């Protein structure tokens, strides 16, 4: 059991829907991350939050909107997605300055 949980585990949404992914870490970390993992591609870093402040937006389209209300929770708000956004979305956390990241189980997203 990892200390990082994600909900929902699976999500199917239409291109006009709005949904949110939730991530929670119970490890006392102060950095959180969103990654996208598509088939045949490496993990792509999307967003980084350190101490609740967004420190990196890796050229992610605006249809993905992150929110970090506190060091333990991270959301990814989704709207007007495209079929090519279908992927596994992974949340991770770490101590700031520590490269070891702990991943959640991911949300498998399908956009129809």
Partner 1 sequence: RKEVEQDPGPFNVPEGATVAFNCTYSNSASQSFFWYRQDCRKEPKLLMSVYSSGNEDGRFTAQLNRASQYISLLIRDSKLSDSATYLCVVKGSPRISGAGSYQLTFGKGTKLSVIP
Distance of alpha carbon 93 from alpha carbon 71, whole angstroms: 9
Which residue, 4, 9, 3, 1, is CA-closest to 89?
9
Minimum Å distance from CB 27 to partner 1? 13
Burial of 80 (0-12, 13-18, 19+ CB in 10 A): middle
Minimum Å distance from CB 26 to partner 1? 15
Minimum Å distance from CB 64 to partner 1? 16
74 contacts 58 by C-beta, under 8 angstroms: no
> What DSSP state is assigned to residue 85?
G
Residues that bind partner 1 in the complex, under the rule CB under 8 A = 2, 31, 33, 40-43, 45, 48, 50, 55-56, 58, 90, 94, 96-97, 99-106
Toward partner 1, which CB reaches closer, 42 or 83? 42
């Amino acid at each position: 059991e990892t200390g990082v949980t994600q909900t929902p585990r699976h999500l199917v949404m239409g291109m006009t829907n709005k949904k949110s992914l939730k991530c929670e870490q119970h490890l006392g970390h102060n950095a959180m991350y969103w990654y996208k993992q598509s088939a045949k591609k490496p993990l792509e870093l999307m967003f980084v939050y350190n101490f609740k402040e967004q420190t990196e937006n890796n050229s992610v389209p605006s249809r993905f909107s992150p929110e970090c209300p506190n060091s333990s929770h991270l959301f990814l708000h989704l709207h007007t997605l495209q079929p090519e956004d279908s992927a596994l979305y992974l949340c991770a956390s770490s101590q700031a300055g520590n490269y070891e990241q702990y991943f959640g189980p991911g949300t498998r997203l399908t956009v129809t």
